[in-house]
Amino acid sequence: MNSTDILIIGGGVAGLSAAAALAPHAHVTVVEAEDHLAYHASGRSAAMFLSSYGNATVRALNEASEPHHKATGVLSPRPILLVAGADDADAFDTEKDSFGMEQISPQDAQALWPILDPAKAPLTAIRGDTSDLDTDLLIQAARKTARAHGAEVLTGARVTAITRDHKWQVTTSKGVFQAQTIINAAGAWADDIAALAGIAPIGLTPFRRSMARIPLPDGMDPTNWPFTDAVKEEWYAKPDAGQLIVSPSEEDPSAPMDAWADDMVIAEGLARFQDMTTMEVTRLTTTWAGLRTFAPDRALVIGRDAAQPEFVWLAGQGGYGFQTAPAAAQLCAAIIQGLPSDLPDGTVRALDPKRFAK
């Protein structure tokens, strides 16, 4: 039997960031079910960093994570452009103000995003202090830090059973592990892991989000184009490897699974995208999908379980996992070490899984 102080279940950005935060202070082991780290939601994100994205609790984590992101070098400037049709003026004003954006003329927006059709999208706003977030660099930096401090990171180690006597015993396809503390960073499978451990589920719901990569007309270089978001989340688009990735922004409930894109959902999303642009999409390079897992109140779930304090939740990241990872990991580490958090007390309470205890 393998012995460790802290066993982290899940090798996505949440689990690896927690490992990096805790490895200097304890023996940490990360077990990931898939053969590759960050295979599911963490590996399928079109990540941007916008501190005003999400509810108040999420925004507090975003702001607390920003210094780490800057120090790690994972951010690079990319503006966010908001576009809307004339019929969506009220929703446009609400989102513009919520995101701290400045309204600009559709002609100025077209200069930044040449495929915009100003006649179809006359309402446009910009925010220039936002950033691309290099997801791979963030994951690799967390993994490197964790391993430099002695953490073990195992892939292909699917958890099949969890029992507890005086310590946890976790059976995986790579052997049995004994640990004092479990961190449940299993993403879409977090409630399933809790059930294996005899812990009451939170009520987490995975939602599918699909993506399509499309080629651009000859001669167009999207390198410096903004991330473009249609009002009411009808679609969004982002430059990627000389092409454009477009998401229908759907949010369809799903069982935990290796998600794939729905062709009809992709087609409907691309039709909405074409309605506001001068582009005709004639072919796709590839499509994919991921699962964004939310708690009922859309805030993350971070802290000791109400019934079993040695079972620690680090789940419910939704669409905010990369933005919030450093602050979420630091809070998780502080809770396990019995240290005060730098986050406001109200934020810590809003993240505590005890808010769902019956």
Contact 116, 106 (CB under 8 A): yes
**Residue 169 shares a structural domain with residue 259:** no
**Residue 302 shares a structural domain with residue 289:** no
Contact 172, 182 (CB under 8 A): no
Tokens coding 333: 């580490």
Pick the last residue of a domain from 277, 294, 311: 294
Q: Is residue 197 part of a domain?
A: yes
What pLDDT was estimated at residue 47?
A: 81
Distance CA 113, CA 179 (A): 52
Q: Give the three-class secondary structure for 10.
A: coil
What pLDDT was estimated at residue 285?
A: 96
Distance CA 219, CA 267 (A): 25
Pick the last residue of a domain from 268, 294, 320: 294
Distance CA 228, CA 84 (A): 11
**Residue 125 shares a structural domain with residue 12:** no
- For residue 297, the 8-state DSSP code is T
**Residue 90 shares a structural domain with residue 112:** yes
Averaged pLDDT in 10-residue chunks for the chain of 358 residues: 94 97 98 84 68 93 97 96 98 96 98 98 97 94 97 97 97 97 97 98 97 93 97 95 95 94 96 97 94 96 97 96 97 98 97 92
What pLDDT was estimated at residue 43?
A: 47
Q: Is residue 225 part of a domain?
A: yes
Count of structural domains, the chain: 2
3-state percent breakdown (helix, strand, coil) of the chain, nearest 5: 35, 30, 40
Amino acid letter, 331: L
Instruction: List phi, psi (to 5°) of 53.
Output: -95, 130
Q: Which domain holds residue 254?
A: 79-129+205-294
**Residue 316 shares a structural domain with residue 212:** no
Q: Is residue 73 part of a domain?
A: no
Q: Is residue 31 part of a domain?
A: yes
**Residue 118 shares a structural domain with residue 139:** no
Contact 130, 76 (CB under 8 A): no
Pick the last residue of a domain from 240, 274, 294: 294
**β-bridge pairing 175-184 and 205-214:** unpaired
Q: Is residue 66 part of a domain?
A: no
Tokens coding 330: 């630091």
**Residue 174 shares a structural domain with residue 229:** no
What pLDDT was estimated at residue 340?
A: 96
What pLDDT was estimated at residue 45?
A: 62
Burial class (CB in 10 A: 0-12, 13-18, 19+), 286: exposed
**Residue 286 shares a structural domain with residue 329:** no
What is the enclosing helix (H) or strand (E) of 160? strand 159-164
Q: Is residue 58 part of a domain?
A: no
**Residue 301 shares a structural domain with residue 349:** yes
What is the enclosing helix (H) or strand (E) of 348? helix 345-351
Give the C-alpha distances (Å, rounded to integers) separating 161 from 170, 172, 177, 201, 254: 6, 7, 11, 16, 23
**Residue 109 shares a structural domain with residue 97:** yes
**Residue 290 shares a structural domain with residue 148:** no
Q: Give the three-class secondary structure for 345.
A: helix
User: CATH number for the domain including 244?
Assistant: 3.30.9.10
User: CATH number for the domain including 173?
Assistant: 3.50.50.60
Q: Is residue 72 part of a domain?
A: no
- Give first-to-last CA distance, the chain, whole Å: 35
**Residue 195 shares a structural domain with residue 289:** no
Q: Is residue 321 part of a domain?
A: yes
